[in-house]
Amino acid sequence: MSTDWQAWHTTYADPDSDLSRRRRSVQRQIAQWLDDRNDDRLRVVSACAGDGRDLLEVLAARPDRSR
């Protein structure tokens, strides 16, 4: 049996889904981690949502996203 990963990711669009709640929790932790660092340059690896939403949505909303 194989998994339809595109269909699986659509669950993130439902704000009440477990996956969506988990992503928001991870995003809060990522935002806090970024807030706690003053480094000019940072390196991060996205490993949660599989398509980068966990990290990319946080970075897109930050004024310091270029660092």
pLDDT digits 0-9 by tens, 33-57: 999 999 989 888 776 656 788 899 9
> Does residue 6 lie within any of the structural domains?
no
pLDDT of residue 17: 93
Q: Does any domain span residue 34?
A: yes
Across the chain, mean pLDDT equals 87
Inside any domain, residue 1: no
Work out the average pLDDT over 1-21: 85
Structural domains of the chain, count: 1
Question: Is 65 within a domain?
Answer: no
Residue 22 lies in a domain: yes
| Number of neighbours of residue 47 by Cβ within 10 angstroms | 10
* Rounded CA Rg of the chain: 14
Burial of 24 (0-12, 13-18, 19+ CB in 10 A): middle
What local confidence, expressed as pLDDT, does residue 48 receive?
61
pLDDT at 16: 95
- 2 in a structural domain: no
Give CA–CA dist 54/19, Å, rounded: 11
Q: Which two tokens stand for residue 12?
A: 């993130």
When pLDDT is averaged across residues 12-17 and rounded to a whole number, the result is: 90
